Amino acid sequence: MPLDLPILDKVYALWDGLADFDAVNIQASRTYLLEQLSTLVDAQNADWIGCVRLSWSQAEDPMKGWRPRTLFTLAPCANTSQVIDEAFQ
């Protein structure tokens, strides 16, 4: 599916905006990214999940060694946060 030019312009503007952040300003750049992506796809919320991959993985591991380590929700909701927290335990 080809993207039309207005969408591509918005994507390029997103990357340009991210490039304006200092590398140490992780929280602000993450918030900016999620806000812009939500606007781009007309979403009400967005989540960031940072994962790590373990150097070992057992054959029956459904996550193939991947484990969530950080979670950030743009617009937290008490019920949603509780369900997500329980899933990570």
Residue 62: pLDDT over 70: yes
pLDDT exceeding 70 applies to what percent of the chain? 96
CB atoms within 10 A of CB 29: 17
The better pLDDT of the pair 29, 81 is held by 29
Domain spans in the chain, listed from the N-terminal domain onward: 5-88
Q: C-alpha distances in angstroms, 71 versus 4, 8, 10, 16, 27?
A: 32, 28, 26, 25, 12
- The highest-confidence range among 18-27, 63-72, 77-86, by mean pLDDT, is 18-27
Interval 1-33: pLDDT, tens: 576 788 889 999 999 999 999 999 999 999 999
